[in-house]
Structures are given as C-alpha cells and as structure tokens.
Amino acid sequence: MRQLYVRGTWVPSSSGDGTDVVDPATEQVIDRVPAGSPDDVDRAVAAAREAFPAWSRTPAAERGALLRAAAGLLRDRAGEVARIISTDMGAPCAMALKVQTLLPLTVLEDHARMAADLDETGRRSGGSLIVREPAGVVAAITPWNYPLHQVVCKVAPALATGCTVVLKPSEVAPLAAYALAEILHDAGLPPGVFNMVSGLGPVVGEALAAHPGVDMVSFTGSTRAGRRVAALAAHTVKRVALELGGKSANVILPGADLRAAVKVGVANAYLNSGQTCSAWSRMLVHRDHYDEAVELSVAAAAGYTVGDPFDETTRLGPLVSAAQRDRVVRYVNRGQEEGARLVAGGTDPPRERGFYVEPAVFAGVEPGMAIEQEEIFGPVLVIVPYITVDEAVEIANGTPYGLAGAVWADTEEAAVAVARRLRTGQVAINGGRFDPSAPFGGYKQSGVGRELGEHGLEEYQEIKALLL
C-alpha cells in the first residue's frame, strides 16, 4: 500500500486502512492507497503551519522558479502521467495526454510565470498602501474526473502566492496526485510546503474543512458535497472557494452554422465520457431547425467509439466506477419514463467488462424534466427546442447551475449579446476554445470564487491596508 506525503517524506497512515484503486476498463484492482484519519490530517496541517512563515517570506521569484522546475519535470514525465490517468480513471490515451496532462502543465507554467511577476510592494490608494499577502494554510479537496488538472488548479496558485497546502485527492482516482507529489518533491519544494493525505471525503475531507489550523479550503466536486464543505468551514469562518456542478446550455441561434455548432456541441458534451462539470449537456435549438439538429447529433454520436482507453480508435473510455455507470443508466431510463425520446444510445452494456455506457442523445426534451435540470455526469446530451431568443435565454438560465455554456450566431456581436444575458461564469462564443488563463467558476449553485488566471490567483491572497 502507498503512503501519505507529510513534511517532505512518505509516511504510513495512522489508520492502517486503505482503499483499492480500480481500473474502470478492466474492473481490476491496480493499487491501494491509505484511507487517512483525522490524526493524519492533524499531522499534515501542523506541517503546513510550521512551513508557512518561511515559505510566505520566500521571494515570489524563487517560488516561481520552483514551480517552473516542477513544470519541467512534469513535461519530462508527461507520457508516464498520461498512462497513469488512462488506467486510473479511463480517459482515452490521446485525451489523457493532451487534456489531462498537457493542459495542467500549461497551468503550472502559467503560475510559475505569475509568481515571478507578483507585485510584492503594493499600490497606493489615497493615503494608504494596499498589499496582498498569502491566505495561509490551504486545504485542497479535488475530484476524480480531472485528477491532475483540478489538483494543479489549486496547488499552483496556492504555492505561487506563498500559501502552504494539504491536498486530499479523490480516493476514486488518486494516482495522478501521487505522481505530482513525487514531482514536487523532486523539484525541491521545502518540507511541509506541500502535503498530501489520501482518504474518504466524509473522514479526511470533512476533517480538513473543519480544521481550525486551515485558513482556506478550496473544493471541487458535487454541489451537495460543496454545501457540506461550506457548512463545516463556516464554524471557523475560513475562506472558501467552491467549484461545483453544472448543467450548461449550448444555445444555437437562427442563422448560426448549425453543422459546426452541433459537431462542437456534441464533442463538448461527450468530453471525458461526459464526466465534465462544464459540459454543454443541453443543446437549445430553434424549433425550425430542431429536427435537423437532432439528426446531426445522432450522426455525430455514432462516431464516438466506446472502447479500451489504450486503443487509438477509442473516443470514449469507461466511466470512472460502477456507481457512476449505474447513475448514468438510471438517468437514461428516467428520461424515457418522463417522455423524452432516446434517439441514440441505450442502457445495455456495450462491452462485457468495464464501466462503459453508450453515448446517448435525447430528443423531445421539455424544460423541467430531470434530464434537463440535473447534472448526469455522463455522455448524455439532451436537445431542447425554443421559439424565441427570450425563451432560449429563459431555458438556459432555468436550472440551479451557472458554470459554463455556449452561444452560436451568425455574427460575434449577436452571440455576445445573448451570452451577456446568461447567468453563467463562462460562455464560448461561436466555438471559442477553452482558455487556461481565463477565470473559471460559476454563478448560483455552481460555486463561489474563480480558478485560473489572475482572478484565480487572487483567491489565495488576503488584502491588507497599511494606513500611512
């Protein structure tokens, strides 16, 4: 069994318990990680608190240099890390390299640069000097769907700003986090600056969220779990950043390039086998173009080959676990029970072994149906008709979520006008690509705060006014 990383060394958990890591493509146990205890959390937090004074006073340029060294090691080991992710959570090998590994590498390099450029002198405002300082000890609690990217999105800005970290990776897919811990160690990060305690959310996650020695908790996961984290953190009035669920709308306006909008929309909905919080899982199409959009979506879905993550022809790997597969199947059944038409996909297992589901497309979907309102977190696309632009905006805004979305129109100006009306944190205009330097986060029950770019960096800083 693996160990925990505390104060710069690998140490056993005080619990003696462990959690099996299962390959979702084969259903075989491939590793075992410690199921950490509250005592383990205490040790890690103490290490982070002891390391904080020296790390927070380390010049930002030196912190940036260490992050740059870590980025160099990740680049050298990118192929190995991608293979770990493919085995750990089922992402197809090409996607595991490009999105799951090279994207967080870019984020790490960006934060190395931003650390070097941090303003450590402050700025004048009236008769005061306004300075930014590190928030303190950060508890980073991360999910399984992007097991390296979501870790880097928290650890990189925390370290860049001078915070110390205790990471709790998902117990479902923890191996990429172990690889990153080894990289940070080899890069020469001082002991205690980064610590990692694996384990279950209700044990390790809750102990971190409630811990009086933690100054900030940054959590990515379900909205339900995010509410629990916020409630626990409230007892010590610590800073909280939450990146939660989504039910994002892909709004296709009359006059848009329908073929392009559908093609890109289906690809986005199925990215990572639909296990993406920002997936455009709802396609909104004018009634005059609805049948054509459904036909195009069905044809596009047929091209998403389900298979072994290490087969180069595979476009969709397995879902991460049996529980996640069963959840998606329940939603596919529920959609049909509610009266929506399943025009692609099904509930029969497409392969004899592994947690696979077929990519699904639903037509005849009405606002208010469970499959239109609730986050499914699988390769399920629902297509909703509308008549007026006002109605499209109302449907798009008609869920508890507001994380991402897209608008397609015949002009950028027309698309931006509608995008400004969407209550969501990020909107792609006519197929605009994901920007790792742009702030990412949600409105409503999709979360609090932002990740990535300068706005994400600021989440890990306190503001102090020196009255001169």
In the annotation, is 62 catalytic? no
Do residues 270 and 359 make contact, with C-beta atoms less than 8 angstroms apart? yes
**CA–CA gap between residue 242 and residue 220 (Å, rounded):** 6
**CA–CA gap between residue 366 and residue 364 (Å, rounded):** 6
Buried b / exposed e along 52-88 (16+ C-beta atoms within 10 A): beebbeeebeebbbbbbbbbbbbeebbeebbbbbbbb
State both tokens at 368: 């208010």
Strand partners, 21: 31
Give the chain's radius of gyration (CA, Å): 22
Helix (H) or strand (E) holding 208: helix 206-210
**CA–CA gap between residue 237 and residue 231 (Å, rounded):** 10
**CA–CA gap between residue 79 and residue 190 (Å, rounded):** 26
The closest of 244, 247, 250 to 227, measured between CA atoms, is 244
The one catalytic residue among 243, 358, 372, 375: 243
The closest of 5, 15, 21 to 155, measured between CA atoms, is 5
**CA–CA gap between residue 35 and residue 30 (Å, rounded):** 16
Output phi, psi for 25, to 5 deg: -85, -30
The one catalytic residue among 277, 358, 375, 451: 277
Do residues 449 and 138 make contact, with C-beta atoms less than 8 angstroms apart? no
State both tokens at 162: 């001078």
**CA–CA gap between residue 379 and residue 359 (Å, rounded):** 5
- For residue 399, count CB atoms less than 10 angstroms from its CB and return exposed for 0-12, middle for 13-18, buried for 19 or more: buried
In the annotation, is 277 catalytic? yes
**CA–CA gap between residue 45 and residue 4 (Å, rounded):** 13
Active-site positions?
A: 243, 277
